[in-house]
Amino acid sequence: MVWNELQKEPVGKFHDGRQVIAEKSDHMIPFHPPEVIVQTVQELVHANDTKRSHIDE
């Protein structure tokens, strides 16, 4: 899909960036399926906490 390829460009600008595909969703991802957003945010927070704990050591 062209749209997926276009979205890869901004993701590549971050060393730990990644593209998350919300399967079985429409344009209303916060409503269908919101768990994709919740899980991704939780992963980001956990990764950031892990990085910060190594800095504080």
17, two tokens: 């960036």
What span, in angstroms and rounded, lies between the C-alpha atoms of 32 and 9? 25
For 53, list phi and psi in degrees, rounded to 5: -65, -30
Q: What is the per-residue pLDDT across 1-47, written as a single tens digit (0 to 9) for each?
A: 687 788 888 888 888 888 888 888 887 887 888 898 999 999 999 98
50, two tokens: 């892990």
- Please classify residue 37 by burial: count the beta carbons closer than 10 Å to its beta carbon, then call 0-12 exposed, 13-18 middle and 19+ buried: middle
Instruction: Determine, yes or no, domain membership for 39.
Output: yes
pTM check: above 0.75: no
Instruction: Determine, yes or no, domain membership for 9.
Output: no
Domain count, the chain: 1
Residue 55 pLDDT grade (very low, low, confident, very high; cuts 50, 70, 90):
low
pLDDT of residue 15: 82
pLDDT of residue 56: 60
* Structural domain of 34: 22-57
Asked whether residue 51 carries a pLDDT value surpassing 80, the answer given is no
Instruction: Determine, yes or no, domain membership for 16.
Output: no
Instruction: Determine, yes or no, domain membership for 8.
Output: no
What span, in angstroms and rounded, lies between the C-alpha atoms of 40 and 53? 20
Instruction: Determine, yes or no, domain membership for 28.
Output: yes
